[in-house]
Amino acid sequence: MQTITRVGGTLFHVAASQLNDATQWIRIAQLNHLSDPMLAGLVTLKLPAPDPNAGGGIASQ
């Protein structure tokens, strides 16, 4: 599993740059137990493996 460190930004930007799909931000949020896509301060995030078939943007109920 890969980790990255960011200062601020959003999970949308992280998903776009790391997973090539901004709509997959929810996968990063779930893996890191986050509910807000806005990042504040210095944050270290675990990243899921890239999956071009993964749905994105809406958490499963």
61 residues of the chain, pLDDT tens digit each: 899 999 999 999 999 999 999 999 999 999 999 999 999 999 999 999 988 888 665 555 4
Q: What's the DSSP call for residue 60?
A: -
The model's pTM: 0.85
**Any idea which residue has 């809406």 for tokens?**
58
pLDDT of residue 55: 67
Burial bucket for residue 14 (CB in 10 Å: 0-12, 13-18, 19+): buried
Contact assessment for residue 16 and residue 2, using Cβ atoms and an 8 Å cutoff: no
Name residue 12's amino acid: F
**Integer Rg of the chain from CA:** 10
pLDDT of residue 61: 44
